[in-house]
Amino acid sequence: GQQVMQIPQYQHVQEGEDFTTYCNSSTTLSNIQWYKQRPGGHPVFLIQLVKSGEVKKQKRLTFQFGEAKKNSSLHITATQTTDVGTYFCAGDSGGYQKVTFGIGTKLQVIP
Amino acid sequence: DAGITQSPRYKITETGRQVTLMCHQTWSHSYMFWYRQDLGHGLRLIYYSAAADITDKGEVPDGYVVSRSKTENFPLTLESATRSQTSVYFCASNQGGGYTFGSGTRLTVV
């Protein structure tokens, strides 16, 4: 079945440093979604990317979808303590029931 | 989000007991899902439903049963709880775009 690999699993950064998490799918995706889960909380939807090569920004967050629609990345510029949490990608290969989540990247920001 | 509610928030049960986790959504979303979250495994799909009376297995369905007689409710039942089912369970709904998750149920099987 479809697999979605996400790296790194953990990342510690100093406040103000940049952070990137990467997601790779074993199959071509129709879209990819990104979620953030704060410690003790539930995953919260951030964004969906649909088009090949798409880049979207949300303030300090930049999301990219690869040209082959098999990989994606989330980049955070100048991290803040409010960015702490686990970031998940979720790949959709063509139907709502086929979203597969990556294992997540747990981000710690050291003040 | 206030539109999808899970209960209970916390549950401790004994091995072998039947347990039902509740999920209720107020948007009439067609699709609903049950995930479990465990360290080292991320979010794994247990069951999903495309509409009332339509359900299907996900990645880890063994030991679980679901029903969906009404669009807004999607209960998950552990028929005979085992320690390996100790986990955090999330219900989610979707109507295009991203999923909306409930606050989760932390289940401990002793």
Map chain B to HEC letters: CCCEEEECCEEEECCCCCEEEEEEECCCCCEEEEEEEECCCEEEEEEEEEECCEEEECCCCCCEEECCCCCCECCEEECCCCHHHCEEEEEEEECCCCCEECCCEEEEEC
User: Nearest CA of chain A to the CA of B100: how many Å?
Assistant: 7
CB < 8 Å from B in window 5-34 of A: 33
- Measure the CA–CA gap between B19 and B15, rounded to whole angstroms: 10
Pairing outcome for strands A105-110 and A31-37:
unpaired
Contact A101 B42 (CB under 8 A): yes
Average pLDDT over residues B25-49: 92
Q: What mean pLDDT, rounded, does chain B reach?
A: 94
Is B27 an 8 Å CB contact of chain A? Answer: no
Contact A42 B103 (CB under 8 A): yes
Q: What is the pLDDT of residue B24?
A: 97
Size of interface A-B (CB pairs under 8 A): 49
Provide the 8-state DSSP code for A98: G
Contact A43 B103 (CB under 8 A): no
Q: Residue A5: is its pLDDT beyond 90?
A: yes
Is A103 an 8 Å CB contact of chain B? Answer: yes
Is A84 an 8 Å CB contact of chain B? Answer: no
Residues A36-56, buried b or exposed e (16+ Cβ, 10 A)? Answer: bbeeeebbbbbbbbeeeebeb
Q: What is the pLDDT of residue B1?
A: 47
User: Nearest CA of chain B to the CA of A17: how many Å?
Assistant: 26
Residues B55-91, buried b or exposed e (16+ Cβ, 10 A)? Answer: beebebbeebebbbeebbebbbebeebeeebbbbbbb
Q: What mean pLDDT, rounded, does chain A reach?
A: 94
Do the Cβ atoms of A8 and B73 come closer than 8 Å? Answer: no
Contact A96 B31 (CB under 8 A): yes
Contact A90 B41 (CB under 8 A): no
Q: What are the φ and ψ backbone dihedral angles of B45, each rounded to 5 degrees?
A: -80, 130
Both tokens of residue B36?
């479990």
Q: Residue A106: is its pLDDT beyond 50?
A: yes
pLDDT tens per residue across span A32-44:
999 999 999 999 9
User: Nearest CA of chain B to the CA of A104: how many Å?
Assistant: 6
Q: Tell me if residue A96 falls in helix, strand or coil.
A: helix
Q: Judging by beta carbons within 10 Å of its beta carbon (0-12, 13-18, 19+), is residue B49 exposed, middle or buried?
A: buried
Query: Terminal CA-to-CA distance of chain B, rounded, Å?
Result: 31
Contact A99 B101 (CB under 8 A): no
